[in-house]
Structure 1
Amino acid sequence: MTETTWFIIAIVLYMGLMLGIGYWSFTKTDKYDDYVLAGRGLNPFVAAMSAGASDMSGWLLMGLPGALFVTGFSELWIAIGLLIGAWANWKWIAPRLRAYSEVANNSITIPSFFENRLNDRSRVLRIAASVIIIIFFTFYVSSGMVAGGRYFEATFGGAYINGLLIVAAVTVAYTFIGGFLAVSYTDAVQGTIMFAALIIVPIMALLTLDNPSDIFSWAASNDYGPYTEGVGNPGYFNMIAGVSATAIIGNMAWGLGYFGQPHILVRFMALRSPAEAKQGRWIGVGWMFLCIVGATFTAMIGTVYFSQNPDIAITDQSAFETIFLDMGRILFHPLLAGLVLTAVLAAIMSTMSSQLLVVSSSLIEDLYKIVSKNLPGEKVLINLSRSAVVAVAIIGGVLAVNPNDSILGLVGFAWAGFGAAFGPLVIASLYWKRLNVPGAISGMVTGAVVVIAWGSSAAGDIIYEMVPGFILATIVMVVVTLATKKPSDETVEVFDRASHLSDVSAKHEDLDIETAAVKADRGEL
């Protein structure tokens, strides 16, 4: 059989597994809350792997290796920032958000949590948050489809548009039928595939080199990839030489984005209990660290591997984002290579499915339900959510047909948007009793507007838009809050109960959080 036939067999097996999980999840999903948040029943392993896989996306296997290959170790500041941000998110946000969302009228989306936390009867905060989610996730979904199209170009030499459509169709299919449970369990499987591939591919490539130690010096003194002047990339292994302070700050600032990512935060809300966030933290951060190490070595080894094999060309000669794909395709038997290369599909599809579900949930839970005069039944709400999944996928697909940015660029813009708009607000909602509705709305809108304006201007080349967006959003939120009326006694009382519940439940893993939340509402805990 031809190489392409083996690849198709591997992809079909993988796609079949994803659809199988989707169908299994369909049989377990009877209620609307199950479709949106899996009945808050995720164990820490699934929650951690799901959060990691949905977070890392196609840029971990394509965008990051490409950036490291072209630029060098200065790109590692992003990885460092992400690791710190992920750890902090699991440490300080996950357990408290799990407890507070239960107390805050059983909130199942981030916009509904904001509204219930601040007792906003105007609905402005919830609607504004939903609009921000729809805008930025549309770009995020589009980045996944771009990665899917490029995957098929590099793997099969096929048409970009065909790859885009296939990846989108299967992702939409299992998200459509299985909801949050399908998304979470497919993410866990996909995260495992990504981890295995990022360890296996660079090791196998390293073993083919004449002198493996070359990977620690080659790029700094030899031509490779985009460097053809005879001197290589002298600053490749130096994290600070030739890198401005603003570039380092901007890359590290990626870590701030974790506090505002809805598709990650909902995993915290779906945990069985706040106490399980500790176990989830070590699983999730450990997984991320090893995956980033694998991506880094993929780039380092690639500088030598492709230079010493001049008859082998990297498919993407612009951003060099297909290094991992090309290595896997060349190193293994076509069937095994196809299975290894499904790691990229896993990364792409895990993120897309999470984003599609969050957007559909926001459209129905946070927009449709608040304007509908007659609340429809459970089945109708589920079907409306499924329809929203398809609609968002179509819009994202249209934007991805003619991509005008790199995968990392598209992800970076959306990541900054959520980080600046929601990050300060999430932290303040969980830890600042004085926060009020005007401050929350002002800060959130400021963060989103600054990111869009900054990222669309020349200033975006000076420093990552996350930095000014996060800082200005925080300042505006604090100033407006202090300049306006204090929150009601009822809102403060709920904050105190939620804080107490979080502290108690974090120490007792066997505590039934739903029962504890009821007792907290009654003042019995």
Structure 2
Amino acid sequence: MLTNAVIIIYIAGMLAVGFWFSRRSQVSDGKDYMLAGQGLGAPVLAGTMLTTFVGSGSVIGGASFVYQNGPLVGIFFFLGTIAGALALGFIAKRVRQNSFSTVPQLLTARFGNGVGILGTVIVLLAFIGITGTQFTGAGYIFSLLTPLTEGQGSIAAFFLITFLAMSGGLKSVSWTDFLSALLILGGLLSAVAYVYLAYFDGFGDYTDRLPDQLQSFTGTLTPLQILGFFLPLFLLILGDQNMHQRLAAAKDAKTAQRATYYFFGAGILMIAPIIFLASFSRVLLPNISPDMAILGLADSSFTPEMVGAIILATALALVLTTGSSYLLASSGSIVYDLLFRNTQKRESLSGRQQVLYSRLSVMIIAVLAFVIVQFFPTFLSLQMYAYTMYGAAVTPVVLAALFWKRVSVAGAASSMIVGSVATIAWEVWGGSVNSVVISFPLALFTLVAVSLTTKHAPMVTQNHANETSTTTNLEQP
């Protein structure tokens, strides 16, 4: 009863924030909807970056990985997020100075329409998969709280996440993310403290009770397999349209960079409890499904109802915030990169029309994400596919567009094609390592080799206000 009350209060609070920011005074045009009027401060930015990237992929997929392979190997898995957050700080100012609403806009300005359209397709393929994992994750949680099955819970999550993304755009998403981040940090730390004190007689007892094969730095995996889990998260965060969109929404370049360092610190505080809880679960619940590693601890036979409520509310918060963020980013790709690539055509729409098209595109992406998630056998397999598709095919080209003068149109296009094809082919016919170990080196080699043998594309520094949808590129002053 207490658990349901906590969840209801949380959901009601998120809905209230969504309704507040859905008002016309808060969201008057496309810039308000997609970039929050470029007025977000560092704490809110850090909160929304944190909860966007640390979602069900961490509390379910990542926890499943730790449960199966051990806490030390889990550090390498999550290190991709931590190292990526730190590296993001080095590119934050450049991203804010350019202020593109979507990553394909940057690719279009640097390489032309062809590469921009190719980037849009890959972004949507990856983001639809990531969004789908959030529906599945929420379905797990709702099945624990209500008589609903996991499938029915996913349907409920579909409507809730879609509303949060549709209501107030990035303003709504950012503030619900920030408030959820406070709940999540407090909830995870509280849950870890209780379970550790209640069930373990010191740190030595905890490590002794772990299965022997889970006490090494490699666990049950080879170093190459571990690399296959580290790289997708690291590459995704550097090129993630969500991260670039949020940096573009900062008040200024310094605020954007400061937010990434807050993100780095808060990420450590959030990820460490996830690793501990999942490994605690391996000791206390050795026979459950790995996907339920953390959620299983909410059972009343292991934790008091209040602690169980905190665990489930925390997990739900992670899922809802990540899902709404990826829906919003996908909406931007449809509106800015497909329907209204021409700036003049888009600006001819009224502010309300821009918001309407954005909201309709959120609904379209949500439906596609719900359908595609039905075709993957496990949560972790869909998660790794989506992360790799983006990280291998898009991130190298995005970083080259920002920092490498010698990169060419042909190099960018061929790298994205090779990265995408290699990812899909390995997922279908590959072996025991994740596809990123194959697709990323191939994409990077193609990018460099082709660029060095073809004419390069000029650098881009122009911001969103002066963006172009033509193939004319902008020289660096």
State TM-score, norm by structure 1.
Answer: 0.82
Residue-by-residue CA offset, 1:208-240 (whole Å, 9 max, x unaligned): 2263442111023xxxxxxxxxxxxx2211013
Q: Are 1:321 and 2:286 an aligned pair? A: no
Residue-by-residue CA offset, 1:247-271 (whole Å, 9 max, x unaligned): 2322332323322221222112212
Residue number in structure 2 paired with 1:196:
186
The SS at the match of 1:321 is: helix
User: Which of these two proteins has the greater Rg computed from alpha carbons?
Assistant: 1
List runs of 5+ in structure 1 lacking aligned partners. 221-233, 308-313, 499-512, 516-520
Alignment check: 8 A CA contact 1:153 1:163 kept: yes
Distance 1:366 1:63 in 2: 31
Within-5 A mapping of 1:419-430:
419-430=391-402
Residue number in structure 2 paired with 1:46:
44
Distance 1:305 1:241 in 2: 19
Alignment check: 8 A CA contact 1:259 1:422 kept: no
The SS at the match of 1:263 is: helix
Alignment check: 8 A CA contact 2:397 2:416 kept: yes
**452 and 210 in structure 1: CA distance in 2 versus 1, 3 angstrom threshold:** closer
CA shift, 1:417, in A, is 0.8
Residue number in structure 1 paired with 2:366:
393
Deviant stretches of 4+, over 6 Å:
none
Residue number in structure 1 paired with 2:273:
294
Distance 1:257 1:342 in 2: 26
**29 and 151 in structure 1: CA distance in 2 versus 1, 3 angstrom threshold:** same
Amino acid at match of 2:454: T
The SS at the match of 1:208 is: helix
CA shift, 1:406, in A, is 2.7
Q: Are 1:146 and 2:108 an aligned pair? A: no
Residue-by-residue CA offset, 1:309-334 (whole Å, 9 max, x unaligned): xxxxx7xx33x222322323425554
CA shift, 1:201, in A, is 1.0
Residue number in structure 1 paired with 2:248:
269
| Residue-pair matches, total | 462
Alignment check: 8 A CA contact 1:154 1:326 kept: no
| Larger displacement relative to structure 2 (364-373 or 109-118) | 364-373
2:33 to 18, 32, 35: 35
Residue number in structure 2 paired with 1:417:
389
Alignment check: 8 A CA contact 1:420 1:448 kept: yes
Distance 1:97 1:168 in 2: 31
1:10 to 6, 29, 41: 6
Within-5 A mapping of 1:106-505:
107-118=100-111, 120=112, 123-156=113-146, 158-209=148-199, 211-213=201-203, 214-220=205-211, 234-240=212-218, 243-254=221-232, 255-306=234-285, 317-318=288-289, 320-330=290-300, 334=305, 337-370=308-341, 375=346, 376-400=349-373, 402=374, 404-459=376-431, 461=432, 463-487=433-457, 491-492=458-459, 494-495=460-461
CA shift, 1:480, in A, is 2.0
Alignment check: 8 A CA contact 1:205 1:305 kept: no
Distance 2:403 2:377 in 1: 37
The SS at the match of 1:112 is: helix
Distance 2:73 2:307 in 1: 33
Amino acid at match of 1:167: A
**210 and 371 in structure 1: CA distance in 2 versus 1, 3 angstrom threshold:** closer
CA shift, 1:139, in A, is 1.2
Residue number in structure 2 paired with 1:505:
none
Distance 2:46 2:370 in 1: 28
Distance 1:443 1:297 in 2: 38
CA shift, 1:475, in A, is 1.7
Amino acid at match of 1:270: A
**280 and 322 in structure 1: CA distance in 2 versus 1, 3 angstrom threshold:** same
Distance 2:343 2:255 in 1: 37
Distance 1:240 1:379 in 2: 54
State TM-score, norm by structure 2.
Answer: 0.90
The SS at the match of 2:396 is: helix
CA shift, 1:473, in A, is 1.5
1:63 to 61, 64, 67: 61
| Larger displacement relative to structure 2 (138-147 or 264-273) | 264-273
Alignment check: 8 A CA contact 1:201 1:324 kept: no
Alignment check: 8 A CA contact 1:423 1:470 kept: no
Alignment check: 8 A CA contact 2:45 2:246 kept: yes
**277 and 15 in structure 1: CA distance in 2 versus 1, 3 angstrom threshold:** same
Alignment check: 8 A CA contact 1:186 1:350 kept: yes
CA RMSD, aligned part only?
2.6
Amino acid at match of 1:304: V
CA shift, 1:335, in A, is 5.7
Distance 2:259 2:33 in 1: 22
The SS at the match of 1:64 is: helix
Residue-by-residue CA offset, 1:446-482 (whole Å, 9 max, x unaligned): 21221111222223x2x32223222221221222222
Distance 1:373 1:216 in 2: 62
Distance 1:478 1:431 in 2: 13
Distance 2:38 2:418 in 1: 32
The SS at the match of 2:377 is: coil
**405 and 269 in structure 1: CA distance in 2 versus 1, 3 angstrom threshold:** farther
Distance 1:97 1:373 in 2: 23
**23 and 266 in structure 1: CA distance in 2 versus 1, 3 angstrom threshold:** same
The SS at the match of 1:217 is: helix
Alignment check: 8 A CA contact 1:216 1:300 kept: no
Distance 1:479 1:282 in 2: 34
Alignment check: 8 A CA contact 2:55 2:318 kept: yes
Residue-by-residue CA offset, 1:371-422 (whole Å, 9 max, x unaligned): 799543221121111011111111222234x464332222111111111111
The SS at the match of 1:456 is: helix
Amino acid at match of 1:86: A
List runs of 5+ in structure 2 lacking aligned partners. 467-473
The SS at the match of 2:199 is: coil
Distance 2:13 2:67 in 1: 33
The SS at the match of 1:66 is: helix
Residue-by-residue CA offset, 1:149-189 (whole Å, 9 max, x unaligned): 11122333531122112222111112111111111111112
Alignment check: 8 A CA contact 2:188 2:274 kept: yes
Distance 1:410 1:256 in 2: 17
Distance 1:437 1:145 in 2: 37
